[in-house]
Chains A and B, each alone.
Chain A
Amino acid sequence: MSCLQTVTDYGLRSLGYGERLLPRSDFTLCQQFTLIGSGLIWNVYFGVLALAAGFFLATALALGKGARARVIRKPSEWFIFIFRGSPLFIQFFFAYFLFLSLKSVHPVFDPFSSAWLGALVVLFFNTAAYSAEIFYGALKSIPRGDVEAADAYGMSGWPRFRRIIWPTMLRLAWPGYTNEAIFLFHATTLVFFSGFPAQQQKGDALYYARYFADQTFNPFVPYPILAGYFILLTLAIIGLFGLVNRHLNRHLPPEQRRKIRLRPNLIR
């Protein structure tokens, strides 16, 4: 079987298209590359959607944590603490079983017990909490002069936030936020390891990598392939976020611009 044939058979296997049976014997390198790459679609799906939705919640939470009113500050602080203080792994398990129990209460919760929505909700809350902490730190380090200048121009409320505080906050937070984005993509590999079942073997990249490692008893091929894919994904994120960073810093002289520094990614 040629490699092209394998790609057409398994290229979209993780979404349920193409060949139904996974390869059982005579594993070729091409099969491993194709299937693990096919699983990567799920990682990208979870990462992109959670990040996009989490961005807005994170902004709201950061403002909430910085608010003076106790009724707004305390819930935001608790939300951030709960999602940053416990392992994502346990959050996944808890959410899955919670959704399972809710399923019997009302059919609305039906889709929540499958990975595409349930895990997405958890990742969304989780990244919102982590990003909110980064944004909050940036909010605290906005130069006083900037805000005073806005006051002097007679700006207040929404225009001041929209034109001064928010862009500055983003500019200061962006290097940290880039790391958070990379980190989130790495965290998406946890989804199918925790509660959420991979129906009809439609899993993510790590799911297929582990499938091959289990079948061949040889971790030295699938995991490096997985690592390679993730390094490519990380490079893509750095490139994309670097463009945004350049846009946010475009008014500054080159030596004052904040560079994105990669920090080691840890388990969450």
Chain B
Amino acid sequence: MFSFCTDPATLSDLPWMACYLTTGKHLNFYWAFGTVLLLLAITAPAALAFGFAGASAARSRFAPLSLVGKTYIAIVRGVPDIAFFLFFVIALDQGLEYLKHQWVCPDWDQAIRQGNDFIVCQAAKVPLGTSPQWVHKTYSFFVAAFTFAIVFGAFAANVLYGAMRAVPRSQLETAEAYGMSQRQTFRRIVVPQMWVYALPGLSNLWMVLIKSTPLLFLLGVEDIVYWARELGGSKTPRFTDYPHGDWRMWYFLVLLVFYLAFTRVSEVVLDRLMARLTLGQATTGGEAQRRAET
């Protein structure tokens, strides 16, 4: 990176550190923080959308649809999430390959599940065995993001379902008295008002989502945990210009601090947002704000 980095063995502590922290692998490590943020940026809205769909379905008067929504909420609750993550990624992978297999190779006469093996034709591999490295990486990232969205969607559905029911009954009755239809009431009364009831649950969920991002590591994405292990392990002069002992402890300390700082910032922002949403609401929080002003 810097011009003086050509021969690290001769450098003193500070320049050595500067060179060490800007090697290509370290830049990858810093990018991995970006991956985490990107995952959060994709997953949070997607999970909210899944959650909204699930909660609306669970509220539906049409019994099968309501059953689907409630099952979705119930399934993800009971099982340790990490097991769900491990299970869902393989299941999704095989499901995609199976569907593509049916589509691409209709005249395949062998069984797909041969004993312990899952075999589809070469053309049906997702992604194709011949595709470049970045396709594989992007694919595994999106599978991970989708898994996160499904799991957190169920949690969000649970929160939103409760929030929709917490909107005061009198509000709905007023809407009916004005002659609004079911759909209008839902869109104009329930949805705008439910957020204040949902926010404590959703902000809790956001904290949990932040804290669950290290699970990316289990899903085979090269994330911060992967790089921290990779970079921190002891290096001998034979393989690198920057030999050092076992520094994994320090790398994980950095990750710990990163997460703590992230959580702290989120807490402050969400508190502000809550104060804003409570404004003028018929809740104890809203009442307290009104009193404080007058």
Name which residue of chain A comes closest to B115, CB basis.
A216
Cα distance A85–B255 when bound, in Å?
A: 12
| Residues A101 and B260 in contact, CB atoms below 8 Å apart | no
Whether, in the assembled complex, B78 has its beta carbon less than 8 Å from a beta carbon of chain A, the answer is yes
Cα distance A189–B212 when bound, in Å?
A: 14
From A62-70, A154-162, A226-234, the one touching the partner chain is A226-234
| Residues A218 and B118 in contact, CB atoms below 8 Å apart | yes
| Residues A267 and B252 in contact, CB atoms below 8 Å apart | no
Quote the shortest CB–CB distance from B256 to chain A (angstroms). 5
Cα distance A93–B214 when bound, in Å?
A: 11
Name which residue of chain A comes closest to B248, CB basis.
A97
| The residue from A94, A189, A220 contacting B256, defined by CB atoms under 8 A apart | A94
B154 contacts which chain A residues (CB < 8 A)? 264
| Residues A267 and B211 in contact, CB atoms below 8 Å apart | yes
| Residues B78 and A227 in contact, CB atoms below 8 Å apart | yes
| The residue from A27, A81, A88, A227 contacting B79, defined by CB atoms under 8 A apart | A227
Given known contacts A89-B214, A90-B252, A98-B249, A230 and B116 CB-to-CB distance under 8 angstroms? no
Whether, in the assembled complex, A200 has its beta carbon less than 8 Å from a beta carbon of chain B, the answer is no
| Residues A89 and B91 in contact, CB atoms below 8 Å apart | no
From A115-123, A136-144, A170-178, A206-214, the one touching the partner chain is A206-214
Within 8 A of A (CB), among B194-228: 204-205, 208, 210-215, 217-218, 225, 228
Given known contacts A94-B249, A217-B118, A267-B215, A85 and B264 CB-to-CB distance under 8 angstroms? yes
Whether, in the assembled complex, B109 has its beta carbon less than 8 Å from a beta carbon of chain A, the answer is no
Cα distance A98–B253 when bound, in Å?
A: 9
Name which residue of chain B comes closest to A93, CB basis.
B252
| Residues A268 and B211 in contact, CB atoms below 8 Å apart | yes
Whether, in the assembled complex, A17 has its beta carbon less than 8 Å from a beta carbon of chain B, the answer is no
Quote the shortest CB–CB distance from A91 to chain B (angstroms). 7
A25 contacts which chain B residues (CB < 8 A)? 116
Q: How many residues of B contact A (CB 8 A)?
A: 45
Name which residue of chain B comes closest to A25, CB basis.
B116
B91 contacts which chain A residues (CB < 8 A)? 219-220
| Residues B211 and A86 in contact, CB atoms below 8 Å apart | yes
| Residues A217 and B81 in contact, CB atoms below 8 Å apart | no
| Residues B80 and A230 in contact, CB atoms below 8 Å apart | yes
Cα distance A85–B263 when bound, in Å?
A: 6
A89 contacts which chain B residues (CB < 8 A)? 214-215, 217, 225
Whether, in the assembled complex, A193 has its beta carbon less than 8 Å from a beta carbon of chain B, the answer is yes
| The residue from A27, A85, A265, A266 contacting B260, defined by CB atoms under 8 A apart | A85
Contact digits for B258-281, partner A, Cβ 8 Å, 1 yes 0 no? 011001100000000000000000
Whether, in the assembled complex, A82 has its beta carbon less than 8 Å from a beta carbon of chain B, the answer is yes
Contact digits for A217-247, partner B, Cβ 8 Å, 1 yes 0 no? 1111001001100110010000000000000
A268 contacts which chain B residues (CB < 8 A)? 208, 211
| The residue from A220, A226, A265 contacting B81, defined by CB atoms under 8 A apart | A265
Contact digits for B222-266, partner A, Cβ 8 Å, 1 yes 0 no? 000100110010000000000000101100110110011001100
| Residues B253 and A94 in contact, CB atoms below 8 Å apart | yes
| The residue from A98, A216, A267 contacting B212, defined by CB atoms under 8 A apart | A267
Whether, in the assembled complex, A87 has its beta carbon less than 8 Å from a beta carbon of chain B, the answer is yes
| Residues B208 and A234 in contact, CB atoms below 8 Å apart | no
B214 contacts which chain A residues (CB < 8 A)? 87, 89-90
B155 contacts which chain A residues (CB < 8 A)? 264, 266
B218 contacts which chain A residues (CB < 8 A)? 193
A193 contacts which chain B residues (CB < 8 A)? 82, 218
29 contacts between A and B (CB under 8 A): A82-B260, A86-B263, A87-B212, A87-B213, A87-B214, A88-B211, A89-B215, A89-B225, A93-B255, A94-B253, A94-B256, A97-B232, A97-B248, A189-B80, A193-B82, A206-B83, A213-B87, A217-B116, A218-B116, A219-B86, A223-B86, A223-B87, A227-B80, A230-B78, A230-B79, A231-B78, A264-B76, A264-B155, A265-B80
Q: A86-B259, A94-B253, A97-B252 are in contact. List 10 more A-B contacts (CB 8 A).
A: A85-B260, A87-B212, A90-B259, A94-B256, A100-B248, A193-B82, A213-B86, A213-B87, A230-B78, A267-B208
Closest 6 CB pairs of A and B: A97-B249, A94-B252, A186-B80, A85-B263, A267-B212, A223-B87
Report which B residues bind A (CB closer than 8 A): 76-83, 86-87, 90-91, 113, 116-118, 154-155, 158, 204-205, 208, 210-215, 217-218, 225, 228-229, 232, 246, 248-249, 252-253, 255-256, 259-260, 263-264
